[in-house]
A and B are shown apart, each in its own frame.
Chain A
Amino acid sequence: MDLAAVIIVEILYAIASLVVISSGLAVIFGMMKVINFAHGEFMMLGGYTTIVAVKSGINIYISMLIIAPLVVGIIGVIIERLIIRHLYGRLVDTMLATWGISMVLIGIATMIFGNTTEGITTPIQGWTIGDYQINGYNFFIIIVAITIVSLGYYLLKFTKLGLIARGAMQNPDVSAALGYNPDRIYMATFFVGAALSGLAGGILAPLVGLVPSWGTAYIAKSFIAVVVGGPAIIAGLLSSATLFGSVNQIFSFLFNPVFGEVALLLTAVILLRILPKGITNSIFKGKL
């Protein structure tokens, strides 16, 4: 019974961490149609920002939840102004450009921090569930994921800001004709996407050993989650994260983490064969 509880928590954690690592990409790729190959590097920057902030004596929660997203968001805006904004609507070109950006960012991080492993410890004690001990930090990540999803849903669905953003993404000319500046809206949306990636890097930093090329480990997973999710950003992200998180953890428990990854990739291949345009193109059609 306790084991079942532990497994459920681990599955929820896997789903939550997929939501967390993919949400930034869902905004930048899902909404803005920019194939952001530098997504992993935005996360990596978030991780380093957190480590630097914590080591200079700032509270870890402020570092992860505020400083990391802000710093990465600002870096994102700079990159958007300099490079990305010239490439909107040119899918393949964005891929090439962001690929280059990712290499530059890895290079810069290597120059600053060196190609060595850095890390900080987790701020939360282990929890006891019956006979079992579980990483207390898992609950924190689950809460962050829930917050991201519900805030995102609220913003996009119920606020004028969300409506304007969605409208501008759908048809920039019409929103311009209505008096909104699409250029500004794109910039702001990119900021949000980059900040979410930074947040993901920040909250994962205490769980791992951070190296400059760390982000590359997450890029495939987050693209799979967003692509399989399909056109609806939030429903798509939630459904694909739930599916992949569960598959990954169940196979990890039954066999080992390697089988977990293999099962995740196999599921993705099969799903894309059956539903080439993503889950939400056929199942939760028309949802947000």
Chain B
Amino acid sequence: MKLLIKYCGGCNPSINRKELVNEVLNLLRLHTFVEVTTENADVGLIVGGCSVCCINIDNIKDQASELVVVGGSLVDYAKVPPDQQTVKVMQQVLEKGGQRSC
């Protein structure tokens, strides 16, 4: 799977964005081959530090077929408990990338 990762600017994050991404990548790699890319991605993982998630998604839509949007404790705009966030993000990425987790 070709995965694009885009961070918000991180002015006031309520989550550790880099740690979340590293954990998600580790989990994804248990299920599939992951190539992190900057264009023509199967899935774009948008990592906002708070619920505002101020990244301009319109600028990224051309670079990835599907998007998974994290905004603080939200994953694809739905609240997820902190201890389940990594798994939820991983599941969303696999699903939108046309794959399923075990």
Q: Are A and B co-members of a single complex?
A: no
